[in-house]
Structure 1
């Protein structure tokens, strides 16, 4: 089943380059903070009075402090959870483009619902019991008792594996390791096997892990037996016992699984690529099918198989069906790329790329005949593939009148007839993908209206997001072909960061996040905190490390019975967290959304009103100074401040919100996207107060005329300004001023007629 995005900031359990991670399962540990309840202490005879006194004192102390309870999950979900963790922040979504319909991005549908847990999300009902274990629910829902499979019972009783020292590499230890793995396969007792791995890792950790320093955990990765078991433990969290059960009848599947669990490099690739939203059962089935189709080539093309597995776990529809193909056959796509790679037809051979890159290759929502056409007809160097965008002549009649010049929507027809920005992006992106080059279409609103352009990985370690891009884009987004939803242009910029380009650095960062998972499962909070902190230190430019550090920092404070949230020391620490994160992402502030959450929850509630306003002003000046094009972030900051003012609930709140937006529209309203967002938020904030709403609409119109309206006869600019006019007309009608609405309506209709005449 498909797991939708976590409510938390991306990167939370299990870490993968992308949004949030799943909850610990099977031998994992869910950390639940709850108020300790009073225990009844009773006694009889002479002890009654003493028990009463002692019990009363104990209750008084215990009832005041939070308790962290580590609950084992050997058989299923987190039992006894009294409250769920609050979701971490997400940047406010303001869509200007429907990515489910964006050409070249391949919609994947809507993810299913999930249950929240303190460490991310989980699929409802994912904690399934294995055959032969007690407590399996019957058809009527009543529990039935079955005798436990002796092999599973034996796995549960096994002593820890030898994972360190010379003995770990001797034949006795390696033979036992393989025998126990075979037992897990034969009995389908993967939960019991994973619990054995966890016990073994827990026993070995004290002898391997250091006490301090950036390299304190490096010995863990250099111990082959330990590291292999560590990776297996993580991989068996991605693929549930129920997932593996679905393929266990197939000997080819078991061969593939044995190969995977004995190949650390392949397991690392799985952990770095898979995300909690991926349908793990379908991913596993695809890998089995790829192995069955050609097991000899599977090791060489494993990354390709994995990329196909996480993309085609949902149907990828072909937007413009050709030759009878209405959707992409994932296995056929996998075999097609192998064939072209081995014949040397690809500009960027796929066997050299990571699965994370190949996700943006195999996803092309086009028929195989289109890929063949691109291989035969379009030839250029990888570094110059951005020129493919300009190969398609711009067709003004299509932009103004909606002309459709194509007999069929194909790459050949687009090249022949020309098109608009969406067609140019479609052509350049999908011809690049055909040649093994990662690419995606981006779209956003500029000062001349909506626009589409391309992001293409024109070098092995460099994405170019300027293919067809024009200035003034506040928030560019593309469709996320792996998990659905969207991905921002700024996330792609982050992939160009030197630390993200380094495989060594990336792996080191995620190893520490995975280790934090293990320590959490073992109930060792101090080590959980230490490994998460070190991951953040090693990977400052990885948002996932900030998310994890945020979580463990919150939990650490919940465990501190001597300090309250309002304690100046605590508040100062959260101020420093927010400042550090903003400093790290100074040039890419969209990645620092978690800093705002830290302020809203841990700083502003304990700050003076004036201090909050000054902090928000500083944030907006910082955005303008470092990334003024991202005006939507300014609008988001204003809305945060307006919400804080509104929560005060005093008589001047509405007036103060009006003053805030009136000044901001004039100061920051030059961006089309920013102006529209601020206007919408301003009007919404005054709803329910007729006088305030009237003032808001007048303020919006005046600001529009001062900082936005140009009266230009350029068709794109005129169309954009007319769109804002229509918005203001709607506001006037909603406050009952029909006369003003009609006057403005006539004005923008005349503007459009003049611009259209000039365009054609």
Structure 2
């Protein structure tokens, strides 16, 4: 056999095989490999030599001399110093890395360097990057040392994040995301950062699959980087850039912001909890204080901190049981002390409610207890009920009739211990039950309203993770039960709490889907895409028919769509009529939640339809409420008033007479409820009082209806007291029409009845 045709030149002498025996193939392969390695080393040495020459040219400033218009981004002494102290030269990088390497070694704002200037071109062709300031410490923005304020410059230029597709989860792009967030934290560049997120979302949406039906935007929520950026954009819209920047002077608070912006479920909690009425600056400061005060468990109790933040963004006081007869003095509650107290008790296993797992919106009704810490301690140490049966605490306080009838104060100090010992009325029972529950981590509310026996107080408790009950201490005949909103003020109705028990509200999947689409509306709205706003609103309403928030957004969309059109246009009229009808059908079992339907009818339907259509609709509404919601006669009174207002707007000569014909029979038909009767009679007399003759007729109608449907002659102290209040009102009407004798006669008669009822009660 012949020897190999092309022998491999060895790097050192190699003894060939003896005679004509050929070299084995493995040896030949080895020769070729060594040859290739030698050629590679030669090329590498040339590249290194050229690179060294280029560095010398750069060092002595020869680039500008020989290559006009081209300058190294790393030529300044300040940048060289930053490279030497922080890491390798970041001036070049491959296209996979994108912007991440430009920022990966940016020093924090407190290190003495400043923010950089946009303008470095990344390998992917977008503008971004940063260069440090010059040796004096001044750059494109910022000051020497810690940044003193929020950056107003768009320091991210045209930078975007990759939020969808396979690239979005590559390590290099994840690093880019982390570095950009860190730069925003260091430099207070939250306005610029939010703009960058908006651009990134806008760029990603065309690359994502948008389907049909309820799941149209499902890919938005299932794409991790996109949804995370979307939530960041939303959260930054809730807080001012200044409020976020001011808390990040603390290094530990920077850790909180970083963690929050990388934890979607907690950003959802923020969006679900923080309201426009909240003091956002105070909320952010408290979140920082809570995080730094107990950093080891801050993540576990973030929802608790958020609840404290929104409840205590305004000063709150507690009753001061100082041992004096007058227990009306109050003490300020320290929110951080309260937050730490709940953590301490929960860590020791003393909480009945799961405060480490409850959503912040529920924990609002835990931390708001208007009592001092010693009272919380008593409730934890002395009360031994389980969550499901905590309503029994209401009955533990015996009813004290003397306090109800005579108004006596049996307490030397207003404490849980004294209330339990001495007894009390419904207000004391509710106070005891609700606040001992809150002390033990159970969400609770105190409701107050009017019943057929007069004013009453009762309790709502969240007895299970998915169930509120408003039945603790409740009696029949309740209308307009309300509780204070401890977060933003105002009132929450009992019917709103009922709605929270709705199946869709208790479904995490449906509930978060509704709010995600409403948040998406905010994004589309800021982008000026009205058609997409309307589409997302309608989709949210389709998914969450029992969510009043989705109906409120739909109402706003309809106003926008029909605002410039003729309200008499059949298409416009039909849209509003459909809205009202759909909403009434959805809330037929809880009609108080359909207030927007009534508004739509009053403003957009009845004024442009026939008189008979409006009359028929009102009558149907009242009969439905009478049949299904017999307690809530105030809704019937409101319906009557809306119809009366439409009659007045017609400005016909018979308007007063028509209103009389509306109210006179209504008093007898719907006046059986104390609340309903009081509202109907007040409205009726109000419409007639400027006409002497019709006012006299109205007050006589009211007295006759009272005798027929309200007066009970029961002798019960509570009922007699309630009826006496109505008689006093009727007597006042008689005085207004000039019939003083009739007024005095009514008052004297009920004075005698009240005295008898009081003797019987005691």
- When normalised by structure 2's length, the TM-score is 0.79
Residue 624 of structure 2 aligns with which residue? 622
- Judged with a 3 Å threshold, the aligned counterparts in structure 2 of structure 1 residues 322 and 270 are, in CA distance, closer, same or farther, namely farther
Supply the distance in 2 between the matched residues of 1:276 and 1:165 (Cα, whole angstroms): 35
| SS at 1:296 equivalent | helix
Partner of residue 280, structure 1: 280
Q: Cα distance 1:167–1:280, how it changes in 2: closer, same or farther (>3 A)?
A: same
**Structure 2 residue 656 is the aligned partner of structure 1 residue 654:** yes
Match for 2:478 among 466, 473, 493? 473
Q: Which residue of 2 aligns with 1:23?
A: none
CA shift digits 1:55-82 (9 cap, x unpaired):
xxxxxxxxxxxxxxxxxxxxxxxxxxxx
**Which residue, out of 356, 365, 380, partners 1:351?**
356
Residue-pair matches, total: 615
Give the match for residue 312 of structure 1. Answer: 312
Give the stretch that moved more between structures: 594-603 or 445-454. 594-603
8 Å contact from structure 2 (residues 426, 456) kept in 1: yes
| Highest RCO, 1 vs 2 (Cα 8 Å, sep ≥ 6) | 1
Distance 2:140 2:499 in 1: 50
Q: Could you say which residue in structure 2 is the equivalent of 1:581?
A: 583
The farther-off stretch of 567-576 and 671-680 is: 567-576
1:367 is displaced (CA, Å) by 0.9
Pair member with larger Rg: 2
- The answer to whether residue 510 in structure 2 is matched with residue 505 in structure 1 is yes
Q: State yes or no: 1:568 paired with 2:579.
A: no
Aligned equivalent of 2:141, options 133, 137, 149? 149
Q: Does 1:758 align with 2:754?
A: no
1:716 aligns with 2:715: no
Other structure's SS at 1:214 match: helix
Is contact 1:432–1:439 with CA below 8 Å preserved after alignment? Answer: yes
Is the CA contact (8 Å cut-off) linking 1:661 and 1:678 kept in structure 2? yes
Q: Once the two structures are superposed, what CA deviation does each residue of 1:29-75 show, in whole Å capped at 9, x if it has no partner?
A: xxxxxxxxxxxxxxxxxxxxxxxxxxxxxxxxxxxxxxxxxxxxxxx
Matched residue SS, 1:487? strand
Give the alignment of 1:541-690 within 5 angstroms: 541-558=546-563, 564-690=566-692
Matches of 2:450 and 2:505, distance apart in 1: 28
1:231 aligns with 2:231: yes
Query: In the alignment, which residue of structure 1 is the partner of 2:166?
Result: 166
| Aligned counterparts of 1:366 and 1:558: Cα–Cα separation in 2 | 50
Aligned counterparts, 1:457-536, within 5 A: 457-536=462-541
- Give the CA deviation at 1:158: 2.7
Counterparts of 1:3-14 in structure 2, within 5 Å, are: none
Aligned residue for 2:155, secondary structure, equals helix
Report what 1:218 is aligned to: 218
User: Take 1:628 and 1:132, find their aligned partners in 2: how far apart are those partners?
Assistant: 68
Q: Which of these residues, 740, 743, 751, is aligned with residue 742 of structure 2?
A: 740
Deviation, structure 1 residue 202: 1.2
Distance in 2, matches of 1:381 and 1:247, equals 40
The CA deviation string for residues 271-312 of structure 1, in whole angstroms up to 9 with x for no partner, is 111111111111100000001101110110111111111111
Structure 1 range deviating more: 204-213 or 570-579: 204-213
**2:262 corresponding residue in structure 1:** 262
Q: 1:702 is matched with which residue?
A: 704
1:358-507 to structure 2, matched below 5 A, reads: 358-507=363-512
Tell me how far 1:758 sits from its aligned partner: 0.6
Alpha carbons of structure 1 residues 132 and 325: separation in structure 2 relative to 1, 3 Å: farther
**Which SS does the other structure have where 1:450 is aligned?**
strand
**Alpha carbons 1:444, 1:452 under 8 Å: kept:** yes
Residues 386 and 428, structure 1, Cα contact 8 Å, conserved in 2: yes
- Provide the rounded CA distance (Å) in 2 between the counterparts of 1:262 and 1:646: 58
Q: 1:242, 1:220 → 2: CA distance? A: 29
Shift of 1:156: 4.6
**Deviation, structure 1 residue 249:** 2.7
Structure 1 residues 399-442: Cα deviation after superposition (integer angstroms, max 9, x where no partner)? 00001111100000000000000000011101111111100100
Q: CA deviation at 1:321?
A: 4.4
SS of 1:246's partner is helix
Equivalent residues of 2:321, 2:413 under 8 A apart = no
CA distance, structure 2, for counterparts of residue 365 and residue 244 of structure 1: 29
CA shift for structure 1 position 569: 2.4
Give the gaps of 5 or more residues in structure 2: 1-114, 118-137, 143-150, 324-328
Q: How many angstroms apart in 2 are the aligned matches of 1:522 and 1:208?
A: 18
The whole-number CA distance in structure 1 between the counterparts of 2:583 and 2:476 is 27
Alignment pair present for 1:326 and 2:318: no
Structure 1 residues 475 and 152: alpha-carbon distance in aligned structure 2, compared to 1, 3 A threshold: closer
- Tell me, which stretches of 5 or more residues in structure 1 are unaligned? 1-130, 134-145
Mapped to 2, the partners of 1:518 and 1:415 lie a distance apart of 53
2:206 is equivalent to residue 201 of structure 1: no
Query: CA shift at 1:573, angstroms?
Result: 2.2
What does residue 38 of structure 2 align with? Answer: none
* Offset at residue 556 of structure 1 (A): 2.5
- 1:710, CA displacement in angstroms? 1.3
Deviates more, 1:153-162 or 1:594-603: 153-162
Q: Aligned pair in 2 of structure 1 residues 204, 322: CA closer, same or farther (>3 Å)?
A: farther
Separation (CA, whole Å) in 1 of partners of 2:213 and 2:660: 52
Q: Which residue is 1:110 aligned to?
A: none
Cα pair 2:517 2:536 within 8 Å, conserved: yes
Name the structure 2 match of 1:82.
none
- Please list the CA deviations of residues 177-235 of structure 1 after superposition, one character each: whole Å capped at 9, or x if unmatched: 12221222222221111111111111111222515221110000111111011000000
Aligned equivalents of 1:622, 1:132: Cα separation in 2 = 67
Cα pair distance change 1:322/1:349, threshold 3 Å = farther
Contact 1:208 1:217 in 2 (8 A): no
Q: Measure the CA separation in 1 of the matches of 2:168 and 2:209.
A: 17
Corresponding residue SS for 1:350? coil
Shift in Å, 1:716:
0.2
- Contact residue 318 and residue 328 of structure 1 kept, 8 A: yes
Q: Deviations over 1:119-171 (max 9, x none)?
A: xxxxxxxxxxxx999xxxxxxxxxxxx99727764535133211111111122
- CA distance in structure 2 between the aligned counterparts of 1:653 and 1:556, rounded to whole angstroms: 34
Q: Is the 8 A contact 1:156 1:193 kept in 2?
A: yes
In the alignment, the residues of structure 2 paired with residue 381 and residue 603 of structure 1 have an alpha-carbon distance, to the nearest angstrom, of 51
1:95 alignment counterpart: none
